[in-house]
A = this chain, B = another copy of it.
Amino acid sequence: MAHPESDQTPAHWRRRTEAALRDAGLRCTFPRHAILDWIAAAAAPFTAEQVVAALETQHGTSSRATIYRLLDWLQAAGWLTRLYSDGTQHTYARFWPGHHHIAVCLRCGSATIMSECHIEEGIRPALAALDFELQGHVLELYGVCGNCRTHSN
């Protein structure tokens, strides 16, 4: 497994995304540092406008355009995932490349891998009963991760 669960801390995500930027030939500029810092410190899933409000208005460290650009890149590279949302704005959570099913911790904002095979097993009989030809799916689970339950509250 490329990313063992124990490594999936915000601090590790912060280090890995900076390395990923460099590996992609992108520069680790001050505005990008500020954005990565903010995301790594986010205590829950967040919207682009929350980042804008925190960095553009309050500190003047990163402009709206820079923030949207980096969020898009991080999502395309698999370091962020867009969550289902009832509202108008996209909601993001920290993520790790290569994962597809997620359990989003509403306390620390991390999105950790779910074992895909178990889920497919559960879905298969229901699909068969419907004679439904599956072409794609979205599964998102929300709650509190084991780490948060252990270390706080």
Residues of A within 8 A of B (CB): 5, 82, 84, 86, 88, 90, 103, 105-106, 112, 114-115, 118-123, 125-127, 129-146, 149
Extra A-B contacts (20), CB below 8 Å, given A118-B126, A119-B122: A82-B86, A84-B84, A88-B88, A103-B130, A105-B132, A106-B135, A118-B125, A121-B122, A122-B122, A127-B141, A130-B146, A132-B146, A133-B143, A133-B144, A133-B149, A134-B143, A135-B142, A135-B143, A137-B140, A138-B139
- Which of A90, A129, A139 counts the most chain B CB atoms within 10 A? A139
Top 6 closest pairs, chain A to chain B, by CB: A122-B122, A131-B146, A135-B143, A84-B84, A136-B142, A84-B138
